Structure 1
Amino acid sequence: MTHGYAIHPRKEAHKEGIAALTGLATSVVSDVLGRTIGAVGILPVNKSPVSVCGNAVTVCVRSGDNLMIHKALQILRPGDVLVVDGGGDVSRALFGEIMMTVAKSRGAIGAVFDAAIRDVDAFERHQFPCWARGVNMRGPYKDGPGSINTSISIGGMTVNPGDIILGDSDGIIALPPELALEGALLGKEKELTERNTIQSILDDQYDYAWIDISLKQKGVL
């Protein structure tokens, strides 16, 4: 390892956890796990609805530089999600159609950037889910340094290599594999509760009493 550079092996996917979480909404899973997980300010660039659930391959780079992202593309495997900590800088795009094509050819199912990307129409055209902090046509530097498969932070959320990345049109969350099954179980229970609540509203049977109870407890009513 040279100073400023680190390349570690990818973590194998937690297949059971990924299968259990697939299809669940990020908002629901975040809610049932304390509403403390989820990246802020990183949203899908695709125009049509998107969803992803896969294994995190993490990259940390210097602002505006994508050399180590190119290296990370070489270790991607089917089912991986590329997650890049670009320091929140959006002055230069770190990823575009060519790199997306490489990632997709290696079986990656999505990409997440706390940074800018470009060629957004290509992500829609190829139906490749991508979340980013921004869009910028300006190209990146290719000098380094950076690290691959180390702990990173995107949008205020820690992501470790091998975490399960769950993403949809609302955003991105990362779950350690040991929380996956609990999150999936609680998430499915909450989704059932929410469906029942929506049906009660449609049937004009929704109980609003909790609102006044809460306000009375706060001394408002």
Structure 2
Amino acid sequence: MQELGIVHRTIARASRADVEALSAFGVATVHEAMGRLGLMRPYIRPVYPSAKLCGTAVTVLLQPGDNWMLHVAAEQIQPGDVLVAACTTESEDGFFGDLLATSMRARGATGLVIDGGVRDVADLEAMDFPVFARAINSKGTIKATLGSVNIPVVCANALVNPGDVVLADIDGVVVVPAARAAQVAEAARQREDREEAKRRRFATGELGLDIYDMRGPLAAAGLRYID
């Protein structure tokens, strides 16, 4: 059962060094390096195409149509944090806009991921405040019902604990547990090195059929070439 009416002021964040290391990679690379884990559902999209972020999670549990807890969460933000907002049930109302973005940027936030709606998108893009959301929706919200801040939440099917590393770009959003951040960053670096070597081979015209040794398994599976 989810805790309501709770704000945890002290959380264990992933180290700045691990966050910086992970920030060098794209979401797809980190997801693969982590064993194809941690992705949020693909309906969470950047509200403008160039949006990207990487930081430590301050989590928020919202009530539908109510953004009260986003204002509560703003006080808990430290430089380098990403606000990750889930909701107790599906809601696409416009929980967040340029005023809250201004407040959160002043606290050092690097962006927002929300399983809900946002508005003022042109202003968010002009500010270059990266937001990844379920929907863009002008519908306003109220401030009447308690949720919680800095508790484990499930955001778009991904478990997010306070202090985890959240990475987002045009390909989606991935969550890296704080305890695995260093290991995943190293695995991502190794994967990037392997992919660069393959990229050079593809660029010379070599086929994936040969790079990945597919011909034998394809023949064994019954693939036939007919001239």
Q: Does TM-score exceed 0.5, indicating one fold? A: yes
Superposed CA RMSD in Å reads 1.8
Q: Residue 149 in 1 paired to residue 135 in 2?
A: no
8 A Cα contact 1:87 1:114, kept in partner: no
Percent identity over paired residues = 30
Tell me which residue corresponds to 1:215. Answer: 218
Q: Does 1:43 align with 2:67?
A: no
What is aligned with 2:126? 125
Separation of aligned partners in 2, 1:54 and 1:172 = 12
Give aligned pairs, total.
218
Measure, in 2, the Cα distance between the counterparts of 1:140 and 1:218: 56
CA contact (8 A) 1:64 1:86 kept: no
Tell me, in whole angstroms, the C-alpha distance in 1 between the residues paired with 2:198 and 2:45.
28
Aligned to 1:178: 179
Distance 1:25 1:218 in 2: 34
Q: Give the Cα–Cα distance (whole angstroms) in 2 for the partners of residues 81 and 44 of structure 1.
A: 14
CA shift for structure 1 position 57: 0.2
Larger Rg: 2
Partner of 1:61: 62
Aligned to 1:5: 5
Q: Do 1:64 and 1:141's aligned partners in 2 also have CA atoms closer than 8 Å?
A: yes
Structure 1 residues 3-23: Cα deviation after superposition (integer angstroms, max 9, x where no partner): 831111142432221122121
Distance 1:200 1:125, change over 3 A: same
1:58-207 correspondence to structure 2 within 5 Å: 58-87=59-88, 89-207=90-208
C-alpha separation in 2, matches of 1:112 and 1:178: 21
- The 2-side partners of 1:51 and 1:76 are apart by 18
Indicate the larger mover: 208-217 or 171-180: 208-217
Change (3 A) 1:119 1:10: farther
Instruction: Please report how far the alpha carbon of residue 122 of structure 1 lies from its aligned counterpart in structure 2 after TM superposition.
Output: 1.2
Structure 2: distance between partners of 1:219 and 1:156: 38
Note the residue ranges of structure 2 that are not aligned, 5 or more in a row: none
- 2:87 alignment partner AA: G
Greater alpha carbon shift after TM alignment, 79-88 vs 97-106:
79-88
TM-score by length of 2: 0.89
Q: CA deviation at 1:33?
A: 1.3
Shift of the 202–89 alpha-carbon distance from structure 1 to 2, 3 Å rule, reads: same
CA distance in 2, matches of 1:10, 1:108: 17
User: Contact (CA 8 Å) 1:90, 1:136: kept in 2 or not?
Assistant: no
Q: Distance in 1 between matches of 2:154 and 2:110?
A: 20
Cα distance between partner residues in 2 of 1:79 and 1:94: 22
TM-score, with structure 1 as normaliser: 0.92
Native 8 Å contact 1:89 1:116 kept in 2: no
Residue 127 of structure 1, CA deviation: 0.6
Q: 1:80 to 1:136 in 2, by over 3 A?
A: same
Asked if 1 retains the 8 angstrom alpha-carbon contact of 2:67 and 2:143, the reply is yes
| SS of alignment partner, residue 161 of structure 1 | coil
